[in-house]
Amino acid sequence: MNKNKITLIAEIGWNHMGNMKIAEKMIKEAKKSGADYAKFQTWSVNNLTSGPWDEDGRRQIYEKAELKFNHYQKLIKICKKNKIKFLTSLFSTSDYEIIKSFKFDSIKIPSPENRNTLLIKFCDKKFKKLYLSTGAAKVSEIRKSLELIKNKSKTHIMHCVSSYPCEDKIVNLDRINDLAKLSKNIGLSDHTPDILSSLFSLPYGVSVIEKHFTIDNDLPGRDNKFAILPAELAKLREGCDRYVSMIIKNKGLLKSDQEIRKVYSGRWGQ
């Protein structure tokens, strides 16, 4: 277990729906609430293959929420000004062209791409730190994906259940124990609508928690409906910090116990 500060990632994703003013407010609120990263998603609709998104309206949503080069310029500038790190998910090697000039040192490989051999090898070469989400993948498949990465110590494996929102009965936190056998760097990508599962994951040794984040649950888009609000993110930050302070090991007796021993010493031997 990493005894240092738990890293919190505020997954803004496409909750901004292409509105940069909303995205800016989300970044600022994420920082105020204690997040270490403001995370977005990088894709080009032109690279999206045919799928159910063509029938349920998601393609139109993706078109509206797609980030262009000038959007990244604004968002990165806002993150720097507010002293919060910028992070994004990458869905294909071709999408890298959109962000390559910004020279990010960290990247998220989302669950749909956790078995994308080409993308994993590519990200291993281009980035110093990888966050690999494990939704809908078997542990054996994640093991094979890790074998593609030369420097495994730079990779955080994120336990994830690809359900939006995720119900308590399928959170499956015990799976973290299986993932921990593959890497010392373990995290949780949490899709539940509150912070309990994130807090409950801490004894399993996670050092990174990613939560979908919004400033208003009534904003358009599926993810805004179950994303946590600033007040909840602040509570998660407090809970993580208090947990870390509670598990720090002390050798020998604490000062408080030493004082009590003095008070009780006269009772011994009676």
What is the pLDDT averaged over residues 227-237?
98
Q: How far is Cα 79 from Cα 28, in angstroms, rounded to an integer?
A: 8
**Residue 82 falls inside a structural domain:** yes
Is 1 part of any domain?
A: no
Q: Give a yes or no: residue 85 inside a domain.
A: yes
The answer to whether residue 64 sits within a structural domain is yes
**Based on the structure, what is the number of domains in the chain?**
1
Q: CA 254, CA 270: separation in Å to the nearest integer?
A: 25
For residue 95, the cross-strand partners are none
Q: Is residue 95 part of a domain?
A: yes
Q: How far apart are CA 197 and CA 61, in angstroms?
A: 29
Mean of the pLDDT values across residues 93-114? 96
Q: What is the mean pLDDT of residues 201-230?
A: 96
Average pLDDT on 160-181 reads 97
For residues 100 and 52, the model is more confident at 100
- pLDDT value at residue 2: 45
State the CATH number of the domain containing residue 169. 3.20.20.70
Distance CA(79)–CA(87), nearest Å, equals 10
- Please tell me the predicted confidence (pLDDT) of residue 3: 55
Question: Is residue 2 in a domain?
Answer: no
Structural domain span for residue 118: 7-267
Distance CA 89, CA 82 (A): 21
pLDDT tier at 111, thresholds 50, 70, 90: very high
Judge whether residue 139 has pLDDT over 60: yes
pLDDT in tens, 26-84: 999 999 999 999 999 999 988 888 888 888 877 888 889 999 999 999 999 999 999 99
- What is the spatial distance between Cα 189 and Cα 162, in angstroms, rounded to a whole number? 9
Q: Does residue 108 form part of some domain?
A: yes
Output the pTM of the full model.
0.94
